Chains A and B, each alone.
Chain A
């Protein structure tokens, strides 16, 4: 990619090549929540969003964490992007501790979340330029880099200067992808990037993720509840269930391990529950806090 942010160029060249892209050991995060049935004055009780999660992602790998709403996927992504502080365990990105070396991590990581969050009155170009400044990209650099990256995600050039509030959700999500890639992260965290998109936009985004992986030396952690997407994009797939990572293996190994043909069946075999059936009060709370 020709539009690397200066801070990333410098750091990327000095990364520890031997260290895994992501190394997570016994990671824990607990939120406190009030028991809904106990009313307003009920005591808060601890609610584990991540429970001793351990895994490693090699450099250049694309790994998918599958899980239902409230399983802890977003908490994991937020911990890796320095937006949350863990309660225990350890998480490292290219050998750097996410809690103690947050400023280093921030130059290496970027993220696309389920909501494409932007200043709605500002245009796609303005929002991207604003984000790029934080990574040291000057107006002269963004003048060429922004149209280039928007072109790569298939964003129509004539809508570049239109306010974000006038764009469809699919369009906004493409701009969100462009924002993440503009800063050339070496670790890309994708938190349900295609949720709510129409089938065509979904395919375009997935195609772009593949392209990023092959053309750019990026490691990808994809969190989703879309089994087909996980199977299509990843080297390994893991299931995060109620804060616990049940396994993280290549799809064929998962199917072989449980003697099943689909990931849905594997989920059922691993948890004893249907994948889509999990929508109770507890999960709603997990979603709120996770």
Chain B
């Protein structure tokens, strides 16, 4: 086997290892995850019920409003899972004390972080699907024209960008062991605020609308809403920005992580010894 082939094989086995470890941990914490799922559903209901409270609208309009809110809440939850997993790349391993063993292993940082992101997307998609259909059933939302395949496709495409942004935020616990993880959620919140999570982007001030153009969540939200409410497929106007952001986000995320990792290794912050 050539050196390149051997290295590629080893990296793929390493990627599998990251996903496999997360499967083990999900199994071990299953009941906690179930409790968290109940919380997410309850939280989403508080948002979707707002549609019922809008005065003077027809049942048809109420259904559309509820669906739009549900899509926003589902993507918020999905993004939450991705950011949680990515920031935990460092935070959880530091808490368990395994971080030094992972960082001294011959696994490329790209594969390490991408493996974590890949599992987050997989797990997040499963949770988002359960959340969406559980709340839709509870509220009685009907979406006869929904094109779920297109919505899933857009979400998968957007996930590549979310992983890239997640890689950037995953470095935060390396810089601040105590507060770094929380800053990841700040990033998630800002991204969703400018992306029109529960409202059209057009209602925001113009400067925020400009920022929304570089957020992958803007296109994911817009595309998913259109696919579920109107049954439109994957529209090119949503696809191409997502492709461009996906191509840029991961290398930028990786570069940011490398800077953070070097900082941590220079200042002895990789492992919190005291």
- Which residues of A are in contact with B by a Cβ distance under 8 Å? 6-7, 10, 31-32, 74-75, 78, 81-85, 103, 106-107, 109-111, 113, 115, 117-122, 126, 129-138, 163, 179, 287-290
Measured between beta carbons, the chain A residues less than 8 angstroms from B214 are none
Give the residues in chain B near A6, CB-CB below 8 Å: 6, 9-10
What sequence of 0s and 1s flags, for each residue 23-53 of chain B, a beta carbon within 8 Å of any chain A beta carbon? 0110011000000000000000000000000
Return chain B residues, CB-CB under 8 Å to A109: 104
Residue in chain A with minimal CB distance to B273: A288
B265 and A134 within 8 A (CB):
no
B10-A83 in contact (CB<8A)? no
Are B270's CB and A7's CB within 8 A?
Answer: no
How many angstroms between the C-alpha atoms of A121 and B271 in the bound complex?
20
Per a CB cutoff under 8 Å, which of B16, B98, B266 touches A133? B16
Q: How many A-B residue pairs have CB under 8 A?
A: 113
Bound-state CA distance A273–B176 (Å) is 37
Q: Please report whether the interface of chain B is mostly helix, strand, loop or mixed according to DSSP.
A: helix
Known contacts A78-B100, A84-B268, A133-B17: A103-B106 contact under CB 8 Å:
yes
Interface size, B (range): 35 or more
Asked whether any CB of chain A lies closer than 8 Å to the CB of B56, the reply is no
B104 x A121 contact (CB < 8 A): no
B98 touches A117 (CB 8 A): yes
A75, A103, A118, A136: the one within 8 Å of B9 (CB) = A136
Tell whether, in the assembled complex, residue A136 and residue B25 are in contact, meaning their CB atoms are under 8 Å apart: no
**Contact (Cβ within 8 A) B14 A130:** no
Task: Determine if A83 and B265 form an interchain contact, defined as CB atoms under 8 angstroms apart.
Answer: yes
Check A85 against B106 for contact (C-beta < 8 Å).
Answer: no
Q: Specify the chain B residue showing the minimal Cβ separation from A285.
A: B274
Q: Is the CB of B13 within 8 A of A118?
A: no
- The verdict on A134 contacting B107 (CB below 8 Å), with A6-B10, A7-B10 known, is yes
Q: Which residues of A contact B21 (CB under 8 A)?
A: 119, 122, 126, 130
Tell me the smallest distance from the CB of B100 to a CB of chain A, in Å. 5
Q: A10-B3, A115-B97 are in contact. List 20 more A-B contacts (CB 8 A).
A: A31-B267, A84-B265, A84-B266, A84-B268, A84-B270, A85-B265, A103-B108, A106-B104, A106-B105, A117-B98, A121-B24, A122-B25, A129-B20, A133-B13, A134-B107, A135-B106, A136-B13, A138-B13, A288-B274, A289-B268
Contacts of A163 in B (CB 8 A): 28
CB distance from A225 to the nearest CB of B (A): 16
List, in ascending order, chain A residues with CB within 8 A of B14's CB: 133-134, 136
A134 touches B6 (CB 8 A): no
Kindly list chain B residues whose C-beta atoms are within 8 Å of the C-beta of A107.
106
Interface string of B99-119 (1 = CB under 8 A from A): 011111111100000000000
B residues near A118, Cβ cutoff 8 Å: 96-98
Q: Is the CB of B101 within 8 A of A179?
A: yes
Give Cα distance in the complex from A269 to B16, angstroms. Answer: 54
Cα(A241)–Cα(B213), bound, Å: 58
Assuming the A-B contacts A78-B100, A117-B100, A122-B25, are A135 and B105 also in contact, with contact meaning beta carbons closer than 8 angstroms in the complex?
A: yes
Q: Among the listed A83, A126, A179, which residue makes an inter-chain contact with B270, where contact means beta carbons less than 8 Å apart?
A: A83
Decide yes or no: A83 and B104 within 8 Å by CB, A31-B267, A119-B21, A133-B17 being known contacts: yes
List the 4 shortest-distance A-B pairs measured between CB atoms, nearest first. A133-B17, A117-B97, A288-B274, A136-B10
Bound complex: CA A91 to CA B105 (Å): 18
Alpha-carbon gap, A106 to B105, bound state (A): 6
A81 to B265, CA, bound (A): 11
Closest residue of chain A to B9 (Cβ to Cβ) is A136
B273 contacts across to A, CB distance below 8 A: 74, 287-290
Residue of B nearest to A32 (CB): B267
A-B contact pairs, 19 of them (CB 8 A): A6-B10, A7-B6, A7-B10, A83-B103, A83-B270, A84-B268, A103-B108, A106-B105, A111-B101, A117-B97, A126-B24, A129-B17, A130-B20, A133-B13, A134-B106, A136-B13, A287-B274, A289-B268, A289-B274
